[in-house]
């Protein structure tokens, strides 16, 4: 019966997410076409002696995620396993082990739990995680009307709680973005995918260990959510995660990130040199308190030293805003602090046909950004090849590594 269910799945040709709805022809997540699921030799197999693989959930560049059943108690879990083509790849193996180590070190209801890990019979590393039923924040933001402001505050507060726990455990996420935030059906917000996380130095919880030789000459992360100090290789701090949270909160409020270009270098240039527009400047109909504008501005400060002291401080400020929203709702009318319960209509959101957020700009501005970004790439040492390659890729999706030579 389990095998028959798997055959009915449709799989996205881009992100490899699977769906059972026969009415779907394109992926709700990224708009890529769906194809019928092809037989996977891992389906029905038992991994690690007690995890029976039932059906695929999704696939990334490093590993595939499956719905599985733990024997003998029949608990449904998610199993992430290295893809066959990466067997014996030390870089992939190191990243996989790092994800297991860092995630297991964090104790928070807002970080995905890892139950087990090991090696399969064919030499593939795997990890066993709690099964999360819901959708990514990316999927939610792309589906009109997106999030109400009060919902965005709730999501941001829970992300900040996850970061507080991670930083207390000595871990920096380094790739916080909507794709790595799961909104569970029960209302829980979960942070996932710590594959490129870094450990803080035990004696100084504000600095990370020296980068590995392979990372010393690369900028690692997702451009749309990357803090300026990561781009310039100045450093990596807990405040770097807070910057990414600021980008996420900004995007959740107005439907687009503060800095966006179709190429990675252009996006990174704007992170370093441009101030973000105020939320109400992007959406004049958004009636919010000044304290929220101030929090977003503080999170997006160019210098890590100018951002909030830590994630716990951000949690407190978000909770104060949530109390403000509740008080306003109880009063049942307009307040000087602004209405936090407004729902956007689709026309209020700026989106391209493929669902990617975009910011309308004139050709002159676009040419300036491209030329300035090219100069930035040379200054940072990325080289002409990197500029040409990464100008054609999206700047909001997969994490990129820009070579410096």
- Quickly list DSSP for 49-111: TTEEEEEEEEE-SSEEEEEEEETTTTEEEEEEEE-GGGTT-HHHHHHHHHHHHHHHH---TTB
Q: Is 133 helix (H, G, I), strand (E, B) or coil?
A: coil
**Residue 240 and residue 85: Cα distance in Å, rounded?**
33
Q: What share of the chain is helix, strand, coil (3-state, %, to 5)?
A: 40, 20, 40
Residue 327 annotated as catalytic: no
Strands 204-208 and 171-172: unpaired
32-35: long-range contacts at Cβ-Cβ below 8 A with a sequence spacing of 24 or more?
34/10, 35/10, 35/11
Pairing of strands 46-47, 34-36: unpaired
Q: What is the DSSP string of 150-210?
A: HHHHHHHHHHHHHHHHHHHTTEE-S---GGGEEEETTS-EEE---TT-EEEETTEEEEEPP
How far apart are alpha carbons 168 and 107 in whole angstroms? Answer: 10
Determine contact, residues 125/96, Cβ cutoff 8 Å: yes
Which listed residue (21, 30, 158, 175) is catalytic? 175
The 3-state DSSP class for residue 392 equals coil
Give the integer Cα–Cα distance in Å for 393 and 370: 14
Q: Whole-angstrom Cα distance, residue 200 to residue 169?
A: 9
Residue among 192, 269, 197 nearest 236 (CA): 197
Positions annotated as catalytic residues are: 175
């Amino acid at each position: 019966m389990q095998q028959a269910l798997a055959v009915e799945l449709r799989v996205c040709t881009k992100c490899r997410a699977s769906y059972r709805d026969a009415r779907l022809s394109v992926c709700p997540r990224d708009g890529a076409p769906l194809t019928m699921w092809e037989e996977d030799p891992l389906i029905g197999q038992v991994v690690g002696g007690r995890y029976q693989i039932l059906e695929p959930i999704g696939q990334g560049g490093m590993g595939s995620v499956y719905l599985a059943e733990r024997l003998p108690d029949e608990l449904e879990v998610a199993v992430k396993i290295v893809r066959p083509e990466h067997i014996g790849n030390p870089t992939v193996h190191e990243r996989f082990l790092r994800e297991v180590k860092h995630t297991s070190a964090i104790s928070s209801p807002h970080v995905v739990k890892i139950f087990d890990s090991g090696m399969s019979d064919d030499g593939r590393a795997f990890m066993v995680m709690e099964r999360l039923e819901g959708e990514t924040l990316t999927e939610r933001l792309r589906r009109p009307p997106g999030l109400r402001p009060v919902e965005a505050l709730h999501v941001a507060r829970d992300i900040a709680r996850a970061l507080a726990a991670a930083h207390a455990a000595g871990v920096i996420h380094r790739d916080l973005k909507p794709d790595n935030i799961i909104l569970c059906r029960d209302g829980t917000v979960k942070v996932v995918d710590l594959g490129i996380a870094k450990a803080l130095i035990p004696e100084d919880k504000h600095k990370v260990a020296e980068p590995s030789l392979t990372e010393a000459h690369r900028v690692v992360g997702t451009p749309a959510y990357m803090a300026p100090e990561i781009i310039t290789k100045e450093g990596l701090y807990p405040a770097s995660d807070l910057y990414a949270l600021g980008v996420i909160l900004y995007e959740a409020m107005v439907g687009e990130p503060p800095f966006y270009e179709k190429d990675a270098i252009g996006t990174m240039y704007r992170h370093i040199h441009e101030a973000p527009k105020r939320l109400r400047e992007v959406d004049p109909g958004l009636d919010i308190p000044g304290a929220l504008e101030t929090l977003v501005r503080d999170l997006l400060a160019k210098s890590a030293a100018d951002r909030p002291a830590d994630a716990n401080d951000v949690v407190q400020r978000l909770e104060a805003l949530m109390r403000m929203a509740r008080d306003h709702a109880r009063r049942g009318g307009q307040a000087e602090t602004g209405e936090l319960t407004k729902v956007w209509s689709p026309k209020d959101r700026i989106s391209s046909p493929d669902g990617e957020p975009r910011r309308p700009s004139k050709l002159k501005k676009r040419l300036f950004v491209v030329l300035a970004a090219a100069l930035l790439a040379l200054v940072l040492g990325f080289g002409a090849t990197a500029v040409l390659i990464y100008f054609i890729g999206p700047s909001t999706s997969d994490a990129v590594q820009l070579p410096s030579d």
